[in-house]
Structure 1
Amino acid sequence: MVVSNVIVVGLWAGWLRKDHPNWISVPVLIVDIVSVAIAFVPEGLPIAVVACASIISNIMRQNKILCKSLKTVETLGAVSVICSDKTGTLTKNQMFVTECTAGGEKISADQAVSEMIKQEKRTADGQASVPGNALSQLRTVAGLCNAGEFDAASMHLPIHQRKINGDATDQAVLRFSETLGPVQELRNAWKKDYELAFNSNNKFMIRLMSAVDQSTIFTSLPAGEASKFAADDYVLFIKGAPDVLLPRCHHYTTADGSTRALDRAALQSIETIKDTWSREGKRVILLARKIIKRAEVKASMDSNAIEPEILAHASSALCLVGLVGIVDPPRDDIPYVVTTLRGAGIRIFMVTGDFKLTAQAIAREIGIITVDDSLVDGYDKLSKQAISMVDSEKNVWRTTEKATSSSLKAIVLSGPELQEMNEAQWRDLCKYDEIVFARTTPEQKIRIVQEFQNEKNIVAMTGDGVNDAAALKKANIGIAMGSGSDIAIEAADMVLLENFSAIVAAVRYGRVVFDNLKKTIIYLLPAGSFSEFWPVMTSVIFGIPQILSSFLMIIICCGTDCAAAITLAYEAPEADVLLRPPRDLKKDKLVDWKLLLQAYGLIGLTETFTSFAMAFWYLQRKGIPFSALWLGFGAEVPGVDADYLADRLAEASSIYFVNLVVMQFFVLMAIRTRRLSIFQHPPLFNKETQNIWLFPAMVFALLVAFFFNYTPPLRKVLGTGDVPVEHWFLPVAFGFFILMVDEARKYSCRKNPDGFLARISW
């Protein structure tokens, strides 16, 4: 625009002002400068772009996806990595205990309930029962070391239907404890003196409790320890991750409820059970206790010194009461989601706080890991192959192409291993296709996002918990679950209101909005820019009248074209939208030379040439030869009255305008797809591809054209005129020409996707 206006002003100042002083006066020069600005700045584009993003956002809302900003919609199309939390996102977050250990032996939850019922029956019949047996102690720890609370309004319902306030793990353990006996009786018999809530760093929960009802001691502790338990002593109950707590356990509870030293054989048995359950995809929770004498607690319960003191007590000499295995089934649609996203060139990784084997099992079940376990790498493998070449001058680590393509497939890492990784190992890790991060902390989740961003990835992070909030904020797009915590939803850019499978629709429409914006731009540029520019330049350079008035230029930009451009936002995704790789933010721009070649080289030239031809052909038929106008610079046309000439020029301007308006209808049909034929992606009679809004937009454009050309008061003020009927139909033939040429281009691209024409196509 600036260069063109410099040319206009330069030609006027250095040539026209001297040689043709009556052709362009200063006011006319200003109008020409403004006309060039109008031509190069498509005024309807901001309207169309905002409307397009808003419409797509609304379509996503109908698909149960809430976008907080319009920018988020467009960025989704470039996402190349999705890091997803497991619990509540990939799984149903409906946990329940299926197995437990009692006395070092594993039994099912149903068997545990049956055993407790038998014991209660023997007690009721007056038979001897063992106080404080293994199951009774397990029930005690599960019920007391638990932040979950039954909703009083649902206590009349069966246990599995009762509502529990608390996280999913506490809910599962509390429900299990309730099946073994009333939890409220336990809580009435014990007083909570101190609590350390579960957090992702410690990975355990502690409650320090003292007995209110001394009789409960004999059912909660082994007989030997119960007899020595003083009224003012404490019991430290602890529940958490086995890999964290098992090294702290020095004793374990046997089947009869007695306490025995945790020897090598017992430890190996517990480890085997833990690993077996983990490989089955179960979350394993360890329950333990420790008796603490009143004199051993120095700090007061409300002082800042109590926490480190309790943590010190919990660091050793624990008695392992048992393990529970918790199942959290994956969502039914997750395998489809993972497969679809992978087909779209997006890598999806699991980031969870679960044990490594559990995370790996769930990842395999839902398709995040597809290779055999023997081919899944670990930290040791990463450190061996991290560096293949060192460029000492540039200080850049490089990995050979062969290693990248053949061996970097799947890897499972834990949080502590991530802390030990150097920059080169992170760079190598980012090349894996399938990754599971286990036992991660919130800080490590942020680091994971940051490292993938450093490798030029556009990262989406999904999660639903408070621990995910910081990573959601750090990611290019944070995606929260509608059922998640308020903090996660607040930190996220997008909320999946129902389930994780909606992310497929989110990615699809994120790519569609970029495609549709390109279509909007390529639709607006030919008539709203290119075809408006040349009437001004030909007037200045060749001395012919400006064949399209500046006012009609604005009508094209903000009236006839704008409505149709907005309807392009409703275009359905093309068939390959989820088969293409993610968009490269640095290379794939909305406007590039390929788009300009299509907009100006094919559509713009055709529209401009035919519009000029129709306008001057009309003048020729009215007795105003083109030869008299060419290089005329305002000179009188021999034998033609000045008023007659002005009226005919107004009509020719309207013909130019109508020619553009009608041809744009066919351009609209042509640019709906980039590769598919109009017969493969029809605008009507196919629910998957139709866009019925196109046709009301065309009718609106026609009405606008009629209004400004055939309303008598406006015609006089705006300088428009009648358009002969044939000039409403001739543009149809020119439009068909554009449509057919573009169909041929698309056919060539489909048949020869690597050919020259395909490489230069938008």
Structure 2
Amino acid sequence: MPITTEFKESIQRRQEKLGRSGYRVIAMVQQIISKDKYDANIDEYKKAKKEERLTSDEPDLNGLPHNQYCFIGECQFHLFLPDIMHHTIGMFSLLDPARPEVPGAVLKAFQAQIRVAMVTGDHPTTAAAIAKKVNILSQEISINGGIDTFRIEQDNEKGQTLAYLMRNTTIPLETHDPNEVKIAEKLEIIPYGVVVTGGDIPSMDDYMWDWVLSHKELVFARTSPEQKLRIAMELSKRGEVVAVTGDGTNDAPALKQADLGVAMAAGADVAKEAGDMILLDNNFSSIIKAIETGRLLSDNLKKVAIYLLPGGSWSEVMPVYFNIWLGIPLSLSAFLAIIFCMLNDVVNSLAMVSEKAERDIMSRPPAIRHKTHLLDWKLLFHAYLIVGNIECFSAYFCFFWYYSVQGIPLSSIFFTYSHYGTDPYIAKSSDDLLLIQQKGQCIYYVALCIMQFFNLLSSRTRYVSFFSYNPLFGKARNLTIPCGILFSTSVGLVLILIPWFNSVFKTHPVPVRFVCPAIGFGAALFLFDELRKLLVRRFPNSFIAKMAW
């Protein structure tokens, strides 16, 4: 059958049709050589392998010829040489479908504002078809909006190479001369997809890289290992945090270059050595689960900090500062401070670690590297200046109220230093004053524990209301929270009610009425935080939302 132009076009149309359906199309040719030439090739291959002269640039074909193969559209198949004959066998197609969980995982990545790029050795048509099936080229962006491409051609009249940027292969966007230096500002991500062929990558300059990488959805086809490495380098150069997945030897350079190289357990040893981590189940969706787990861990660590800092540091340090600066009696003993930190707060903070993910955890943008910190100024502002001051004020309110009921006004407490009880004079013995101080310290301790209970319930969520995320039932169920509260309550009751602790550690039973204000202040703190969360949800661009931790 003669290889005419019409026949070639028919084959190409067939290949495009199969490619659009996601099939990999391979052309098969047969090369017939004489036995003498075959034996010579094998002998030369064995000799080169023994002398380690085999280059890595060419595939290892076990002694078969590397050239003089003919493919449709590249040479005439009726060519005959004295010792070599070429025969076209035909074409066959392969369908290598993506795993069923990949499309959903890609959608979750997009929802988390993570761009997923396909870098493959497949034909551009096949790559685009597979990308559409797995949602890398999504319906609402690339299919409805359009897929951008570019074509590099030699302008014979002007004697220069030009790049034609196009949308949907027909709509011209711009003509760019790769030899012309253009200074482009950092481009925002544009809602279109782009398909780039590896053969065009060597001709791309910085301006074209900026244009390509500004697309929301990216597909690179017919890429070599060097080009995969170049793609990772160009993304990193533009400040992107790059994760590369791969399983083959040709993926190793890109895996090594990426900020995070993820190799497959079933992949080549070279890829696993080049990667930073190995995916044991060879499942892309596990990466998305790992991202969600990482965000949950970061969230829970922040919640633990928000819970611990107001009580465990601020409200425990303030009594010492007030004693030194303002000359008032120490409102929290060292023993009670240690018990508060080592038992009350630690158990509740461990309960906070087991919190489940909030609903919006996979819809937030990724943290900005080198800018986002676990304990940033917004979290510290909320923990110390808002919650910490409210808790400290509440505990001191109960402390001073008890002193007032005992007939000791504030004027006899502040700025007395070592003259407390004598200047100004208080008509009580030193033993009575010591007993009042010890009871006041127990009142401060119990009031602080009560305030921390409300802080614990408020800190469980960053933006979601407690009433839709309660710890007793539903998806957010976390029974360690009420268990922690019960444990902390039990510790406090044991310390102030058991006579042995009273005699050894100088603790005393606390009259209930003196800690009731802490319940009111705690409820006010809880409602205040619920209002803050409501405003953050309703007005995500407001000042309050920007100040949210």
| TM-score normalised according to structure 1 size | 0.59
1:462 maps to 2:245: yes
The one of the two structures with greater contact order (alpha-carbon pairs below 8 A, sep at least 6) is: 1
**CA shift in 2, pair 1:613/1:324, >3 Å:** same
* 1:290-340 deviation per Cα after TM superposition (whole angstroms, max 9, x unaligned): 233344326444211796895755344643322210011233333333233
- Please give the per-residue CA displacement for 1:154-176, whole angstroms capped at 9, x wherever unaligned: xxxxxxxxxxxxxxxxxxxxxxx
* SS in structure 2 of the partner of residue 665 of structure 1: helix
* Among candidates 394, 415, 418, match of residue 201 of structure 2: 418
Paired letter, 1:530: W
Q: Does 1:620 align with 2:369?
A: no
TM-fit CA distance, 1:484: 4.4
How far does residue 431 in structure 1 lie from its aligned partner after superposition? 0.8
Structure 1 residues 551 and 585: alpha-carbon distance in aligned structure 2, compared to 1, 3 A threshold = farther
Structure 2 CA distance for partners of 1:656 and 1:430, relative to 1, 3 Å? same
- Given the alignment of the two structures, is residue 599 of structure 1 paired with residue 383 of structure 2, yes or no? yes
1:674 is aligned to 2:462: yes
Q: Give matches, 1:64-79, under 5 Å.
A: none
Quick one: distance in 2 between partners of 1:465 and 1:405? 30
- Deviation of the 1:487 alpha carbon: 5.2
Q: How far does residue 664 in structure 1 lie from its aligned partner after superposition?
A: 0.8
Structure 2 residue matching 1:446: 3-state secondary structure: helix
Matches within 5 A, 1:204-219: none
Please state how far the C-alpha of 1:456 moved relative to its aligned partner.
1.8
1:446 to 1:561, Cα distance in 2 relative to 1, 3 A: farther
Does the CA-based 8 Å contact 1:567-1:694 persist in structure 2?
yes
2:262 pairs with 1:479:
yes
**Residue 388 of structure 2 is aligned to residue 647 of structure 1:** no
Q: C-alpha separation between the residues in 2 aligned to 1:759 and 1:279?
A: 46
Structure 1 range deviating more: 662-671 or 331-340? 331-340
The equivalent position to 2:15 in structure 1, one of 265, 274, 278, is: 274
**Residue number among 322, 330, 335 corresponding to 2:103 in the alignment:** 335
1:755 aligns with 2:542: yes
1:322 is aligned to 2:90: yes
Offset at residue 384 of structure 1 (A): 4.6
Structure 1 residues 364, 697: closer, same or farther in 2, change over 3 A? same
- Please show how residues 284-683 of structure 1 align to structure 2 within 5 Å: 284-296=25-37, 297=40, 299-304=43-48, 310=63, 314-316=67-69, 318-370=86-138, 371-372=142-143, 375-380=146-151, 383-384=163-164, 397-399=183-185, 409-481=192-264, 483-485=266-268, 488=271, 491-493=275-277, 495=279, 497=281, 499-637=283-421, 638-683=426-471
Change over 3 Å in CA distance of 1:755–1:374 after alignment to 2: closer
Which one is further off, 423-432 or 355-364?
423-432
SS at match of 2:92: strand
CA distance in 2, matches of 1:617, 1:455: 61
Check whether the contact 2:194–2:218 (CA below 8 A) recurs between aligned residues.
yes
Shift of 1:694: 0.7
| Bigger Rg over Cα | 1
- Alpha-carbon distance between aligned partners in 2 of 1:372 and 1:761, rounded to the nearest angstrom: 37
How is 1:9-48 mapped onto 2 (pairs within 5 angstroms)? none
Distance in structure 1 (CA, Å) of the matches to 2:183 and 2:440 = 67
Cα shift readout 1:665-684 (whole Å, capped 9, x = no counterpart) = 11111122222221122222
Alignment map for 1:156-171 (pairs within 5 Å) = none
Structure 1 pair 563/311, CA: closer, same or farther in 2 (3 Å)? same
Q: What one-letter code is carried by the residue in structure 2 that aligns with 1:588? A: T
1:741, distance to aligned residue in structure 2 (A)? 1.4
SS of the aligned residue for 2:214 comes to coil
Instruction: Output the TM-score relative to the length of structure 2.
Output: 0.80
Whole-Å separation in 2 of the counterparts to 1:307 and 1:479: 30
Query: What letter matches 1:672 in structure 2?
Result: R
Aligned pairs (5 A) from 1:56-71? none
Distance (Å, rounded) in 2 between the aligned partners of 1:710 and 1:286: 87
Alpha carbons 1:387, 1:397 under 8 Å: kept: no
Q: Could you say if the C-alpha distance between residues 530 and 462 of structure 1 is closer, same or farther in structure 2, counting changes exceeding 3 Å? A: same
Residue of structure 2 in register with 1:723 after alignment = 510
Partner of 2:75: none
CA, structure 1 residues 700+497, in 2 after alignment: closer, same or farther (shift >3 Å)?
Answer: farther
Deviations along 1:642-665, one digit per CA (max 9) or x if unpaired, are 233223322222221221112111
Shift of residue 388, structure 1, vs aligned partner: 9.0
Residue matched to 1:110: none
Q: CA RMSD in A?
A: 3.3
Which stretch shifts more, 673-682 or 289-298?
289-298
Is the contact between residue 315 and residue 391 of structure 2 (CA under 8 Å) also seen in structure 1? yes
Name the CA shift for 1:280/1:753 in 2 (closer, same or farther; >3 Å).
closer
Residues 1:742 and 2:529 aligned together:
yes
- Aligned partner letter, 2:106: V
Aligned residue number for residue 105 of structure 1: none
Write out aligned runs for 1:685-724 (5 A). 685-686=473-474, 688-710=475-497, 714-715=501-502, 718-724=505-511
After TM superposition, give the deviation of residue 273 of structure 1 in Å.
3.0
Q: What is the distance in 2 between the residues matched to 1:358 and 1:633?
A: 83
Letter in 1 for 2:310: P
Tell me how far apart the structure 2 counterparts of residues 750 and 363 of structure 1 sit (CA, whole Å): 34
1: CA distance between counterparts of 2:458 and 2:182? 48
Identity %: 34
CA displacement 1:118-167 (0-9 Å, x = unmatched): xxxxxxxxxxxxxxxxxxxxxxxxxxxxxxxxxxxxxxxxxxxxxxxxxx
| Structure 1 residue 609 displacement after superposition | 0.7
Report the alpha carbon displacement of residue 633 of structure 1 after superposing the two structures with TM: 0.9
* 2:520 matched residue in structure 1: 733
What letter is aligned with 1:647?
L
**Does structure 1 retain, via aligned residues, the 8 Å contact 2:465–2:530?**
yes
Q: How many residues are treated as equivalent by the alignment? A: 496
Q: What are the ranges of 5 or more consecutive residues in structure 1 without an aligned counterpart? A: 1-253, 255-260
User: Amino acid of the residue matched to residue 358 of structure 2?
Assistant: E
- Label 1:759 to 1:265 Cα distance change in 2 as closer, same or farther (>3 A): closer
User: Structure 1 residues 683 and 494, CA, compared in 2 at 3 Å: closer, same or farther?
Assistant: farther
1:736 to partner: Cα distance? 0.8
Q: What is the distance in 2 between the residues matched to 1:507 and 1:742?
A: 28
Residue 600 of structure 1: how far off its partner (Å): 2.4
Unaligned runs of 5+ in 2: 56-60, 71-85, 153-161, 166-173
Letter in 1 for 2:126: T
Deviation at 1:435, TM superposition (A): 1.0
C-alpha change, 1:265 and 1:750, in structure 2 (3 Å) is: closer
Shift of 1:632: 0.9
With over 3 angstroms needed to count, the CA separation of the structure-2 counterparts of 1:312 and 1:577, relative to structure 1, is same
CA-to-aligned-CA distance 1:600-641 (integer Å, 9 cap, x gap) = 232111110111121222233334443222111121513322
